[in-house]
Amino acid sequence: MNGPSWRYLIPGLVIFIALAVLAWLVIFWNLDDVQKTPRVEMQIELTKVLAQLVFVTLIGATITYIYNQHAKEKENNRLRFEENNKLRRDLLSSLIEVRAQVEKIRREYRLLPSNKRQSGYKQAIHDLLQARLNLSQVWHGTETWKELYLDDGTHIQAGLLGMKKYLDELIDEYEGGIEDFSQTKRESIIQTIANTPLFTRFVTGEGGEAYTQEFLEQNYRTAARMIRKHILPPE
């Protein structure tokens, strides 16, 4: 039963009960010092029927009201549950996209021929900067909805900050040597890039300890695991 129905039902019940009480008063007023006759007996039975009718109506209305309130609360909880889970899934998807973006950057750079390494390095840093900005959005999402993760929110944000720190170091390394790159001849660019140890390790082999152990294992996987932990199965 919806809201408007209850708006009309409750005043109706009040009027009905008031009329029933008035009828009882009239009947019992007329019963004072009156000998029991068939007419009086009928009035007594009528009061019993009215009492039963009012009682049944009240019980039915109360049960219906409680049931509808429970159903409404259950539906609200379901909608809130689905909305919260969607927020968690979207956040996890965004984090996975950042990790995939970073891995794509390092592998694409390794496929470049030597004569494309200078422009490729610059493009890789620009792409890493975009990944860093996307990661900031994930962090702000966890900050905005931190109540969805209870006490694990601190661990999630710590992992995200660790990832941001690693990407910042890669970007800072490029910024620190940008003048050298602009003045380097093409034939010596490979050696110049080799002088950027963090980026060199990042694009070589598994990515170096800072990438595999810190960025991936300690930070990314910890944050992803904590978010995934709070993605509840559908009810």
pLDDT single digits (tens) 128-139: 999 999 999 999
Same domain for 66 and 145: no
- Split into its structural domains, the chain has a count of 2
- pLDDT tens per residue, range 114-123: 788 878 888 9
Mean pLDDT of 152-180: 88
pLDDT at residue 105, rounded to an integer: 95
Query: What's the DSSP call for residue 196?
Result: -
Q: 48, 70, 92 — which closes off a domain?
A: 70
- 36 band by pLDDT with thresholds 50, 70 and 90: low
User: Measured between alpha carbons, how far is 184 from 192 in angstroms, rounded to an integer?
Assistant: 8
Tokens for 184?
């380097």
Same domain for 125 and 222: yes
DSSP class per residue in 55-108:
HHHHHHHHHHHHHHHHHHHHHHHHHHHHHHHHHHHHHHHHHHHHHHHHHHHHHH
Residues 6+ apart with CB under 8 A from 53: 20
pLDDT at residue 108 tops 70: yes
Structural domain includes residue 178:
yes
Query: What's the DSSP call for residue 149?
Result: G
pLDDT at residue 13, rounded to an integer: 63
Structural domain includes residue 235:
no
Same domain for 27 and 107: no
Structural domain includes residue 136:
yes
pLDDT at residue 128, rounded to an integer: 96
pLDDT at residue 1 tops 50: no
Same domain for 189 and 112: yes
Tokens 């595999």 identify what position?
A: 212
Residue 64: domain span: 3-70
User: Measured between alpha carbons, how far is 24 from 19 in angstroms, rounded to an integer?
Assistant: 9
Q: 70, 102, 122 — which closes off a domain?
A: 70
Same domain for 92 and 64: no
Q: Which residues of 179-198 are buried (b: 16+ CB within 10 A; e: fewer)?
A: eeeeebeeeebeebbeebee
Q: What is the pTM of this model?
A: 0.69
Q: Which amino acid is at 3?
A: G
Same domain for 99 and 191: yes
Same domain for 139 and 66: no
Same domain for 196 and 140: yes
pLDDT at residue 90, rounded to an integer: 93
Structural domain includes residue 75:
no
Q: 42, 70, 98 — which closes off a domain?
A: 70
pLDDT at residue 34 tops 60: no
**Backbone φ, ψ for residue 185 (5° rounding):** -70, 155
